[in-house]
Each structure stands twice: as structure tokens, then as C-alpha cells.
Homo-oligomer: A and B are copies of this chain.
Amino acid sequence: MSTATASMKECIENCQECQTTCADMLTSHCLSEGGDHVGQDHVKLMLDCIAACAACVDFMSRNSDHHAHYCKACAEICKACADSCEKVGNMDKCVKCCRKCHESCSSMAS
């Protein structure tokens, strides 16, 4: 029935984890800490990352023929978000899930 492969299921899970971890960290950590944590570029990347992961989950779970576009964009955004989180510092949870999501989205995009 389902056309989802094992690697797609893993990618969906990594996107889900990245989406919720970044949303939680943004609202409970960054917005509470202030300073570099609420820098315009950093917050915009966190929001992009959350939205990119959500779009990926949506297109993959609907078995869309067009999911690769969203995986490719998500891979790029997750990489940029991980870099920004490393620069801001004290955001190890985000760095880890963004790097993991970047990896699996890159695989699904090719």
C-alpha cells in the first residue's frame, strides 16, 4: 500500500524531531536568553528550519512525487541553522538535530 521506503520513514522522523526541538528551543531558550539568541538572522533561520522540516514531513507523508524539492531546501536550511546555532553557542540540541536532518534530507533529495 504505502510507497514510503525505510529511508523516507527515517527522514520523516528526523524532520519531525528537528522541527519540534527547534520550535521548543526558540521559544523556551532563545527568547528567554536574549542577546545573540534573538539576533535577526538567527531567529529567521530557526523559523525557516521549523517551517522547512514541517513542509518536508507533509510532502513525504503524502507520498508526493515532488518531495525531493522540499528535502533539498530543508537540507540547505538545516545546515545554515546548525551553523548559526554553533555561532550563537549553548544550543547543542539544535546543532545535533539540524546536522542529522541535513544528512537524511540530502539523501532523500538526490
Please determine whether B64 and A44 come into contact, CB atoms closer than 8 angstroms: yes
Residue A85 at the chain B interface, CB threshold 8 Å: no
Main secondary structure of the interface of A (DSSP, over half): helix
User: How many copies of this chain are found per oligomer?
Assistant: 4
0 or 1 for each of A24-53: is its CB under 8 Å from B? (1 = yes): 111111011010001110011001100110
0 or 1 for each of A10-33: is its CB under 8 Å from B? (1 = yes): 001000100110011111110110
Q: How large is the interface on A (under 10, 10 to 19, 20 to 34, 35 or more residues)?
A: 35 or more
Please determine whether A28 and B63 come into contact, CB atoms closer than 8 angstroms: yes
CA distance A1 to B62 in the complex (A): 26
Q: List 12 A-B contacts (CB under 8 A).
A: A1-B32, A3-B28, A4-B24, A16-B57, A24-B61, A28-B63, A31-B39, A31-B44, A44-B62, A48-B62, A52-B66, A55-B55
